Structure 1
Amino acid sequence: MIAEEQRAWAYLSRVTEPPCPQLGALVDECGPVRAAELVRRGEVPDRLRDVTAARRDLDCAAADLELLARRGGRLITADDEEWPQLAFTGFGATAMRDRPRGSVPLVLWAVGPARLDEVAWRSAAIVGTRAATSYGEHVASDWAAALVEREVAVVSGGAYGIDGAAHRAALAGSGTTVAVLAGGIDVLYPAGHSALLHRIATSGLLVSEYPPGVRPARHRFLTRNRLVAAISGATVVVEAGLRSGAANTAAWAAAMGRVVCAVPGPVTSTASAGCHQLLRRGAELVTRPQEVLEIVGRMGELADDPQHPVSPLDDLSDVERTVYEALPGRGGATLGQIAVAAAMPAQQVLGPLTMLEIAGLIEQRDGQWRIARLQRKPTSGADRSV
């Protein structure tokens, strides 16, 4: 990216409160340099002139880019290979058209070695309440560690509670984690997480659509949440109140057609009330990180085989299982009695009985067959009724 274009992008990033679809349309039409000139002169459509009037004379582009360079950062635009083009197709979803501030970002200010396009290719957002319980922080930590172990990036918002637990666990596992900020990259918020955010910038990625110096504000957190959802293959809500930023992130993800997952909690916990509401509205119920891995992996590449209880009967054929089930729970039965109970000719019963005896599941004594003493016969529905 040449210096003139960089200055134009940086200027346009500050000239209006992002996102601004009218400004994006102007850039698409005539490019960033020409768009910046037109905005400065006020030679733009009325709607765009109104929203840029207060800031069009505020040109901090050179200082902003100098600060970015000092921090080892970069400006990512749609002209760059790092721009997550595929992930950002979610902004074109039908449900996004009616959501205020639901358009694609104009630029992204980033600090950190991780590439945004690679992160978006295999990532999951772990979000939740700031007032997390020990249960919520435990789940967030364990799951983040499991995700980065399988080279899935963990995306979150850098806040206290669930966000912080997820970021710290990802860093501890030497994985990639991304913090999407609601202010400039030089305004690390919350202040108590400044050291954590510095660590993320060292090995992962800090990213924001706001230029340097912009302070976080409530509306910016809500706007920021759409980026958390956009660059994540799935959004996992660990704990959330009925009205929370995490629930807002889930709403953005659903509007983009992304998978929304919710972790159940105690029905008595207000910290899980938002998760339970999401589940009632159709969110995916997840109870272990492997279920999230299956969702974000490509064609099931990260899915583990589900674990099932192991039984000595698992490897029996249908005929052998039928014969085994024909044996009485207590005592023995003759070959003829077993044949009647199994509704099979006697000559067809003898072979399965022999195989069951070899397997150690049954034994023959005094002309009768019985279940081996050290084995327990699985009870059917009829057997359980007393």
Structure 2
Amino acid sequence: MSPVDSFDEPDDDLLARVFLTRVLEPGDEIGGRWVREFGVRGVVGRLRELGGPLPGVSRKRWDGLVARAERAVPREDLAVAQEAGVRFVAPGTAEWPRQLDDLGDARPLGLWVRGRADLRMWALRSVAVVGARACTEYGAHMAATLSAGLAERGWVVVSGGAYGVDGAAHRGALGANGATIAVLACGVDRPYPRGHTALINRIADQGLVLGELPPGDHPTPSRFILRNRVIAALTRGTVVVEAAHRSGSLVTARAARRLGRHTMGVPGPATSGLSAGVHELLRQDAVLVTDAAEVVELVGGIGELAPERRGPVLPRDLLEAGARQVLAALPARASASVAEIARGAQTSQDDAVARLYELRALGYVERHDDGWKLTRQAMISVRGDPSAR
């Protein structure tokens, strides 16, 4: 064992966790159980002793883990990370978001973090906005608008840094001068996708970029899927904007549901395959949301309510109920007698006369000989322009 590999200092646990990020894949529940039962240094010791496998794995898989362990040099990883402005945040430390402990044995061994903000504090008030990579203009617009609204309300937007909805969500938050976190499925010193290098670097400057994998590690399909559990656990709720039936963002939503987090979906056209997965979530137990206020009403504190949704107030809505009944009793084009109007309004003739004079003062009706008739202004504002029918 070289000096660079020795774990004989007060930061032994941190070095052991960094070591294991080179050996165990993210979300490995068997490895997580070993850490829980034997401790991180105990697991590292067994991997280096070249003895028999720990319980739960075959000899073949154990040999593969040992081969990985032989190449792990944690102090070098920490040095590379430090040079790239990356720190390692371990469970139990002040910056560790405790909600990640809800993942049990699938909890990350630690997180590599770029950015100056405090991860634990930001995660306490965060929402995930995820969705299709090949999103439509509608999906990109909704993701950006939702995220900008969340940022303006003091919420941190969390997504995966990918093309499509993820990128639109990050840009929406950044454009509102808000906070955003990108959770990557690779080493945070090598942004992926490469086309988002500038975006991810901007996120690191204005927000946080984090991941489970050590410096230089590359993404794989399985790592993308396993990354999604971190997004779900880190946040108060997950909003899905456009997702087909087979979409990684649905994995995030289902993980959020299992963890007891809020699950939300933005509806799209019923004919759009890119919204089919979202609609299936909504048919189950996800909550339909259309803007940031509705998201905050669900994930926020008591009193953070979305405004009540209602149509425009019409002039007729401001009338008393009796006056509205009399107004509704007048025919659209012809005049009517007081007796006819009273019958239609189910009131007395005296009350009808009083209401008609009130309505005349407001410009709704006019008197024609012995009858009453709607004014043209009233026909347009109350019943629509008859010439357009």
TM-score by length of 2: 0.80
In structure 1, the residue matched to 2:264 is: 260
CA 143–316 in structure 1, closer or farther in 2 if over 3 Å, else same: same
For 2:297, give the aligned amino acid: E
In structure 2, the residue matched to 1:105 is: 108
> Is residue 76 of structure 2 the alignment partner of residue 67 of structure 1?
no
> Is residue 50 of structure 2 the alignment partner of residue 46 of structure 1?
no
CA-CA distance at 1:186 after TM superposition: 1.8
Q: How many residue pairs align between the two structures?
A: 371
Distance in 2, matches of 1:349 and 1:5, equals: 86
CA-CA distance at 1:189 after TM superposition: 1.1
- Asked if structure 2 preserves the Cα contact closer than 8 Å seen for 1:186 and 1:213, the reply is yes
Distance in 1, matches of 2:252 and 2:161, equals: 14
Counterpart secondary structure, 1:46: coil
For 1:223, give the aligned amino acid: L
- Asked if structure 2 preserves the Cα contact closer than 8 Å seen for 1:334 and 1:368, the reply is yes
For 2:19, give the aligned amino acid: Y
In structure 2, the residue matched to 1:153 is: 156
In structure 1, the residue matched to 2:19 is: 11
> Is residue 129 of structure 2 the alignment partner of residue 129 of structure 1?
no
CA-CA distance at 1:298 after TM superposition: 2.8
Equivalent of 2:220 in 217, 221, 235: 217
Matches for 1:1-386 after TM superposition, within 5 Å: 3-28=11-36, 32-33=40-41, 36-37=44-45, 40-41=48-49, 45-47=54-56, 51=62, 52-86=65-99, 89=102, 91=103, 103-257=106-260, 258-265=262-269, 267=271, 269-281=272-284, 283-299=286-302, 301=304, 303-349=306-352, 352-364=355-367, 366=369, 368-376=371-379, 378=382
For 1:14, give the aligned amino acid: R
Ranges in structure 2 where 5+ consecutive residues have no aligned partner: 1-9
Distance in 2, matches of 1:129 and 1:54, equals: 37
For 1:264, give the aligned amino acid: G
Distance in 2, matches of 1:361 and 1:33, equals: 85
CA 15–308 in structure 1, closer or farther in 2 if over 3 Å, else same: same
Distance in 2, matches of 1:330 and 1:206, equals: 67
- Asked if structure 1 preserves the Cα contact closer than 8 Å seen for 2:100 and 2:230, the reply is no
Counterpart secondary structure, 2:215: coil
Counterpart secondary structure, 1:375: helix
CA 20–333 in structure 1, closer or farther in 2 if over 3 Å, else same: same
Distance in 1, matches of 2:267 and 2:235, equals: 17
Q: Deviations over 1:246-281 (max 9, x none)?
A: 3333333333343131431472x5444444444455
Distance in 2, matches of 1:365 and 1:16, equals: 90
For 2:82, give the aligned amino acid: A
CA-CA distance at 1:217 after TM superposition: 0.7
CA 326–26 in structure 1, closer or farther in 2 if over 3 Å, else same: same
CA 172–378 in structure 1, closer or farther in 2 if over 3 Å, else same: same
Distance in 2, matches of 1:81 and 1:71, equals: 22
CA 365–84 in structure 1, closer or farther in 2 if over 3 Å, else same: farther
For 2:84, give the aligned amino acid: R
CA 142–118 in structure 1, closer or farther in 2 if over 3 Å, else same: same
In structure 1, the residue matched to 2:5 is: none
Q: Deviations over 1:212-268 (max 9, x none)?
A: 23211111011111222222333333333332323333333333343131431472x
Counterpart secondary structure, 1:298: coil
Distance in 2, matches of 1:363 and 1:119, equals: 64
CA-CA distance at 1:79 after TM superposition: 0.9
For 1:47, give the aligned amino acid: G
Counterpart secondary structure, 2:376: coil
Distance in 2, matches of 1:351 and 1:44, equals: 95
CA 82–359 in structure 1, closer or farther in 2 if over 3 Å, else same: farther
What percentage of aligned pairs have identical amino acids?
A: 41
CA 351–23 in structure 1, closer or farther in 2 if over 3 Å, else same: farther
Ranges in structure 1 where 5+ consecutive residues have no aligned partner: 93-101, 381-385
Counterpart secondary structure, 1:47: coil
Q: Deviations over 1:26-79 (max 9, x none)?
A: 544565455544654469842279655444444422122222323333322331
Q: Deviations over 1:152-201 (max 9, x none)?
A: 22222111222222222322221111111111112221122222111111
Distance in 2, matches of 1:358 and 1:229, equals: 61
20-29 or 119-128: bigger deviation: 20-29
CA 358–150 in structure 1, closer or farther in 2 if over 3 Å, else same: farther
